[in-house]
Amino acid sequence: MTADPYQPHLQPPPAPVHHPQMQQPGLHGYPPQPYPQAPPFYAPHWSVPAPVTIDGFAIVQPRLKPIPSGPAIGSLIAGIGAILGAVPGLLSAAFSPLAGLTFFMSSALFGLGSLFLAIYARRQIRAARGGVSGKGVALTGLIIAIIALAFAALVGLIALASSM
């Protein structure tokens, strides 16, 4: 009779080996320490599947952490750039109208870009229903864009008034 190659070979466990050193207490007279137990495994909270039914059939969707909104971050950065462009414009518009108009154009373009990105980001976050995060960043970008556009308009008015 031949051995089945698909069945595991069952062998008895080896007999324990007794050494004279094993009979003594632990190292340097201390009692032997037990082996440390492995900590229990906990799966992250986002990997637990959420049961969803579509037309009566259950499907599994993993719960993932929402990704940050790129347009919201871009809106915030563009708004900060617009304010940083408007501040020197406020200082130089009275002395040099051409420099004031240059700063007005740069801060107005950055402010408009920030405004459009903030509006787009807010719509994206609302449509994603929890899949995209950054609602506060988009709101901050929107507020900074409005402030930057107000500064840009002030720079433009000062530059026009000083050129006359």
Dump pLDDT digits (tens) for 60-118: 666 778 889 999 999 999 999 999 988 888 888 878 888 888 888 999 999 999 999 99
Neighbouring C-beta atoms of residue 57, cutoff 10 Å: 7
What span, in angstroms and rounded, lies between the C-alpha atoms of 156 and 100? 7
Domain range list for the chain? 67-163
pLDDT, residue 149, reads 93
Confidence of residue 37 (pLDDT cuts 50, 70, 90): confident
Let me know: does 74 contact 144? Beta carbons within 8 Å: no
Asked which of 50-54, 92-96, 119-123 is least confident by mean pLDDT, the reply is 50-54
